[in-house]
Amino acid sequence: MFVRRYKGSPDTHIIQFENGKVKRHGRGLSFFYMPLTTVLMEVPMVSQDVPFVFTETTVDHQEVALQGVMTYRITDPLLMTASHDFTIGHSSKMARGDGQEKLTMRLVNAIQGTARTVIAEMTLEQALAEAANLSVIVTEAVSGHHALHDAGIMVEALHFSSVRAMPEIQKALQTDYRERLQKQADDAIYARRASAIENERELKQRELATDVEIEQRRVELVNTQVRNKLAEAEADAKAERMKLEPYGEVEPQVLIGLALKDWAGHEGSIGNLTITPDMLSGLAGWMNSTSAAKPDGISDEHQPK
């Protein structure tokens, strides 16, 4: 056919070359053209993702595998077609040029070159620990890459989804990390046990202090009771002494008489009475001495009754 119709889509920028010159270009164009004298190029204008995987070496000579995705967008399609071939077929409208493959390779090389510079100044542990910062650094460096900017490419985002050491190193790091975690767990258990022992010791000390205080109060109570009993005994003894003191000046015979009087006042009942010879001898001696002491001419019958 000598004439064909092209119908574009809004997500691509179509460029029509005729006789080596740009005849028309734009997004979503539809037009008729002559295949024999026309070359068509489609440049995607939407954001696209470029996955990447590569290995770099750290400053301590350890290999690190980096995997991620970069998102970019073409901002100047005419400038892009000046260095990349986005030609499509007239019948199938499939890509015939290698522009997309070369662009992807170019972007991956830019990422890898920038990442190599950054990783070369890091140790293995730093590279593994600073994956997020690594994404920021590489994104800023790639965004300012002159070759990409001159080709009409804008980097929108770059993310490292994985930063890993080699399998054997990764296993060693995992073992070391696992041992550190186990040590932290053991330290936590030891600290918890030590705290429990310390708490138990403090509790026993408080219990002992309480027991000592109770015993001290008990001693004070016993001492007070003893003092009170001694004071009561002294008071009773003093009262008894004061009660008996007048009887100390009375003759024994009078005391006996008072006793007999007290006995008679209690109905004269005696359960047991023991009279010893000494008591009889003393009583008889007292009676004799009393009779001898009477004045002359006064008989017993004249004594006051």
Residues 146-197 pLDDT 10s: 888 888 888 888 888 888 887 777 777 778 778 888 888 888 888 889 889 9
Inside any domain, residue 88: yes
Per the CB < 8 A criterion, the answer to whether 86 and 98 are in contact is: no
In a domain, 204, yes or no: yes
In one-letter notation, the amino acid at residue 286 is: W
Whether 193 is covered by a domain: the verdict is yes
pLDDT at res. 302: 44
Please check whether residues 150 and 243 belong to one and the same domain. no
Same domain, 10 and 147: yes
97 with 11, same domain: the answer is: yes
Answer yes or no: is 15 within a domain: yes
pLDDT at residue 280 tops 70: no
User: How far is 287 from 242, CA to CA, in rounded Å?
Assistant: 30
How far is residue 105's CA from residue 99's CA, in Å, rounded to a whole number? 10
Confidence of residue 279 (pLDDT cuts 50, 70, 90): low
Are residues 111 and 234 located together in one domain of the fold?
A: no
Q: Would residue 286 count as lying in a domain?
A: no
Q: Are residues 99 and 208 in the same domain?
A: no
Instruction: State pTM to two decimals.
Output: 0.54
Is 290 a domain residue? Answer: no
Q: Are residues 142 and 24 in the same domain?
A: yes
Contact 14, 8 (CB under 8 A): yes
CB 8 within 8 A of CB 35: no
* Residue 226 belongs to some domain of the structure: yes
Q: What's the mean pLDDT in 25-48?
A: 91
Residue 44 and residue 172 share a domain: no
Q: Which of residues 188 and 289 earns the better pLDDT score? A: 188
Q: Give the structural domain span for 225.
A: 167-264
Same domain, 99 and 204: no
Q: Is residue 138 very low, low, confident or very high in pLDDT (cuts 50, 70, 90)? A: confident
pLDDT for position 182: 85
Share of the chain above pLDDT 90, in %: 17
Residue 109's region, left for phi above 0, alpha for psi from -120 to 50, else beta, is alpha
**Residue 38 and residue 149 in one domain:** yes
- Both 26 and 115 in one domain: the answer is yes
Q: Is residue 85 part of a domain?
A: yes
How many independent structural domains does the chain possess?
Answer: 2
Instruction: Flag whether pLDDT at 272 surpasses 90.
Output: no
For residues 171 and 152, membership in a common domain is answered with no
Nearest-CA neighbor of 55 among 47, 63, 45? Answer: 63
Rounded to whole angstroms, the Cα distance separating 80 from 3 reads 28
**Are 8 and 88 in the same domain?**
yes
